[in-house]
Amino acid sequence: MMRTPRPLESLTGKELTRKRSIAGVSTRTLLYLTGTLAARGFEWLLPVVLSKSTDPLWPDPGASIEKRVETDIYGETVRTTQSMIIHKLVACSTAYPKLFVLSPNVRIEKRERRATGWHSYEFTQLDFEVRDASSGSVRTLVESAVSGLVRDLQKSARAELESLGRLRGVKVPETPFRAYDRETLVDRYGEGWEHELPGAIRNPVWVTNIPREFYDFEDPATGKWDNYDLFVPERGEILSGARREWEYSRMASKMARDGVRKENYALILRLAREGRLRPSAGGGIGVERLVSWVVGSRHVGEVQPFPKVPGVVYEL
Ligand code: AMP
Ligand code: MG
């Protein structure tokens, strides 16, 4: 039975020590990843929380949203950030060819998801995007960052990993990671491949060609999606990314096909129509999931100082 993460004020001394060790690993993780990206010429942008336009999270076979948070300010309807994908595409096409942002995402996941140990209703994405990049180049960057991170943590967070009993828990991943077309996994494991895959791998793997939101590139010639998810052993998906659509006609027809309301995406459609949207590729890594995998926590909420567990609302 999964234990629901509890708030700070109700933890025992031993549990608080564990919480602090996890924070040590999390600190080193953030230092390593932000440092790696900054050293490679990425600009570090600060996040936003309220906008008219946010990620539709639709259609996405993995999405399960109970409600979308909207409010009116100054006579306009705004939404809390579900992801900064729309902001990233505009920012990357205009001022910042290589960017990243630590972005708070609010996704009111269905309450049943409390039991997965893998969902919170608020979490942080390390979201990045690179103008004119190929999928392959982004995947190579992620592989070296994930593998370099584990190597770094074994030194920089040695005491914390030791106290969490995880010094030998996560091996330094071997690069390059294997990549599987989703269709191959459906043949092998059936439609529940996402649940089967983590138990069947020893090293992180990529899954490509996943039908989902309009902004991921769908090759009209082959019908394949040029996107990728990173799965880690035992746990599951920690990153989703893609090469992006940038042409107006393709974005607009996918929105019509999927029933996504064009009026919520007026700006990005206008930029695309004016030829001001540029090709790019990128991804977003769930920071809490990454740390949860490294420290071996049973619930991703355990990594959060203030757990946001689906269906459970604490005071803080
Ligand atoms: P997405 O683009 O929707 O796949 O989100 C990007 C990444 O954010 C995922 O690969 C996960 O690592 C993370 N993520 C998504 N939803 C959640 C959630 N409810 N709780 C924690 N992390 C999440
Ligand atoms: Mg995903």
Confidence of residue 61 (pLDDT cuts 50, 70, 90): confident
Q: How far apart are CA 202 and CA 188, in angstroms?
A: 17
For residue 111, the model assigns a pLDDT of 97
Spacing, Cα 240 to ligand 2 middle (Å) = 5
- The residue to mutate among 123, 124, 127, 182, having the most atoms of ligand 1 within 8 angstroms of its beta carbon, is 123
pLDDT tens digit string along 229-269? 999 999 999 999 999 999 999 999 999 999 999 999 999 99
Spacing, Cα 131 to ligand 2 middle (Å) = 21
Domain boundaries, the chain: 8-176+241-303
Output the residue whose Cα is nearest ligand 1's atom 7: 286
User: What proportion of the chain, given as a percentage, has pLDDT over 90?
Assistant: 97
Q: Cβ(84)–Cβ(103) under 8 Å?
A: yes
**Which atom, in ligand 1's list, is nearest to the CA of 125?**
8
- The residue to mutate among 68, 88, 105, 114, having the most atoms of ligand 1 within 8 angstroms of its beta carbon, is 105
Q: Cβ(309)–Cβ(299) under 8 Å?
A: yes
For residue 108, the model assigns a pLDDT of 98
Least confident of 60-69, 133-142, 303-312: 60-69
Which one of the ligands is nearest to 231 CA? 1
Q: What are the residues whose beta carbons fall under 8 Å from the beta carbon of 226, sequence distance 6 or more?
A: 135, 208, 209, 216, 217, 218, 219, 242, 243
Output the residue whose Cα is nearest ligand 1's atom 22: 286
**Which atom, in ligand 1's list, is nearest to the CA of 300?**
21
Tell me which long-range contacts 137-142 makes (C-beta under 8 A, separation of at least 24): 137/281, 138/228, 138/241, 138/281, 138/282, 138/283, 139/176, 139/177, 139/179, 139/206, 139/228, 140/176, 141/40, 142/230, 142/239, 142/241, 142/283, 142/285
For residue 2, the model assigns a pLDDT of 67
For residue 70, the model assigns a pLDDT of 97
Q: How far apart are CA 253 and CA 53, in angstroms?
A: 18
pLDDT tens digit string along 267-309? 999 999 999 999 999 999 999 999 999 999 999 999 999 999 9
Average pLDDT for residues 140-164, to the nearest whole number?
98
Q: Could you tell me which of 213, 183, 204, 211 has the C-alpha nearest to residue 289?
A: 204
Is it the case that residue 11 has pLDDT exceeding 80?
yes
2 C-beta neighbours (distance < 10 Å), count: 11
Spacing, Cα 69 to ligand 2 middle (Å) = 20
For residue 3, the model assigns a pLDDT of 83
Spacing, Cα 248 to ligand 1 middle (Å) = 27
Output the residue whose Cα is nearest ligand 1's atom 19: 119
For residue 63, the model assigns a pLDDT of 85
Q: How far apart are CA 25 and CA 203, in angstroms?
A: 20
For residue 45, the model assigns a pLDDT of 98
Output the residue whose Cα is nearest ligand 1's atom 17: 119
Average pLDDT for residues 106-113, to the nearest whole number?
97
* Statement: 8-176+241-303 belongs to CATH 3.30.930.10: yes
For residue 62, the model assigns a pLDDT of 85
Structure token pair of residue 35: 């440092």
Q: Residue type at 188? A: R
Q: How far apart are CA 142 and CA 134, in angstroms?
A: 13
Average pLDDT for residues 202-218, to the nearest whole number?
98
Q: How far apart are CA 49 and CA 81, in angstroms?
A: 5
Is it the case that residue 172 has pLDDT exceeding 70?
yes
Structure token pair of residue 175: 């690069």
The dihedral through the CA atoms of 172, 176, 181, 186 has a sign that is: negative
Pocket around ligand 1 at a 6 A CB cut-off: 83, 107, 109, 119-120, 123, 125, 237-240, 284-286, 288-289, 300
Average pLDDT for residues 203-208, to the nearest whole number?
98
144 dihedral zone (left: phi>0; alpha: psi -120 to 50; beta): alpha
Q: How far apart are CA 123 and CA 289, in angstroms?
A: 9
Spacing, Cα 315 to ligand 1 middle (Å) = 24
Q: State the pTM of this model.
A: 0.98
Is it the case that residue 1 has pLDDT exceeding 70?
no
Q: Could you tell me which of 297, 284, 243 has the C-alpha nearest to residue 81?
A: 284
For residue 296, the model assigns a pLDDT of 97
